[in-house]
């Protein structure tokens, strides 16, 4: 990111423009205690005012760390934003008793989808926009749940790589304990994004930016190997494969032509 101040100003202008065009004035988002939702919360407060923003804290008791809920509450209080805490455990129970055995993946995705149902319930009830908190790195590799955390009306940081999210958060003086926290969707106990992906976001962003410049996976791998002889080729290939396999997450469902 060349200039965080310019980026901040630009994003605020775009948020104001989009919200105004919808004819609505309120926004709601899920706040997890992580850097992405913290930054989006700050941008919304700056753009449309804290009184027009509502945060929903949706922990899963027994999985979500207490510090994440605590950090979310402190952040909302500091910014003067109304928040509601809604544990999702009871909404998941019936979905464990189906005619089939839900797989581990199905159970994890159900958690993200339960949260999106709650967000849209609020949005429909209060005439608010649901705001997404995904960043560009997550969107490019498809690291998100379709109709879950990817379900929203607009994404303020969807064109910022994860490393740029960190830069802008530091510029805006968000709390260090949130900025330095290991990113995690907390869909199971002890989960972290980077352990699951096998690379740090700094490494992932380097791959994504190279792909953006080179245009093809083949040239991307060739360029990265030339610059880094010790490159873990299998990790790079995994990220490039994720991009291809998860393209459907960023597209509208295919319509069969009549």
The DSSP line for 36-63 is HHHHHHHHHHHHH-GGGEEEEE---TTT
DSSP run (H or E) holding 136: helix 136-141
- Local confidence band at 197 (pLDDT 50, 70, 90 cut-offs): very high
Can you tell me the mean pLDDT for 228-245? 91
For the chain, the domains span 4-186, 198-250
* Cβ contact 116:144 at 8 Å: no
Can you tell me the mean pLDDT for 180-200? 92
Can you tell me the mean pLDDT for 199-215? 95
Class of the CATH domain delimited by 4-186: alpha beta
The per-residue pLDDT for 5 is: 96
Q: How far is CA 211 from the centre of its chain?
A: 21
Q: HSE of 107 in the Cβ direction (CA atoms, 13 Å)?
A: 15
Can you tell me the mean pLDDT for 199-217? 95
Task: Write down the pTM of the prediction.
Answer: 0.96
């Amino acid at each position: 990111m060349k200039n965080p101040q310019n980026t901040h100003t630009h994003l605020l202008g775009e948020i104001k423009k989009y919200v105004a065009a919808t004819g609505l004035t309120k926004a709601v988002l899920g706040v997890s205690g992580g850097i992405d939702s913290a930054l989006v919360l700050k941008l919304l407060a700056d753009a449309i005012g804290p009184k027009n923003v509502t945060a929903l804290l949706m922990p899963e008791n027994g999985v979500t760390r207490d510090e994440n809920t605590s950090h979310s509450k402190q952040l909302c209080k500091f910014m003067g934003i109304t928040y509601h805490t809604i544990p999702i455990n009871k909404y998941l129970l019936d979905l464990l008793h189906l005619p089939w055995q839900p797989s581990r993946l199905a159970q994890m995705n159900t958690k993200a989808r339960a949260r999106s149902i709650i967000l849209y319930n609020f949005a429909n009830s209060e005439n608010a926009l649901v705001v997404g908190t995904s960043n560009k790195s997550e969107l490019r590799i498809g690291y998100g749940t379709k109709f879950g955390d990817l379900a929203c009306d607009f994404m303020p940081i969807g064109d910022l790589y994860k490393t740029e999210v960190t830069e802008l958060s530091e510029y805006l003086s968000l709390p260090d304990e949130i900025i330095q926290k290991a990113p995690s969707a907390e869909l199971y106990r002890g989960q972290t994004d980077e352990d699951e992906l096998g690379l740090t976001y700094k490494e992932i962003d380097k791959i994504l930016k190279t792909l953006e410049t080179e245009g093809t996976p083949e040239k991307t791998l060739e360029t990265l190997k030339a610059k880094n002889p010790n490159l873990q080729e299998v990790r790079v290939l995994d990220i490039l494969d994720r991009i291809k396999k998860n393209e459907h997450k960023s597209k509208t469902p295919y319509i069969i032509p009549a």
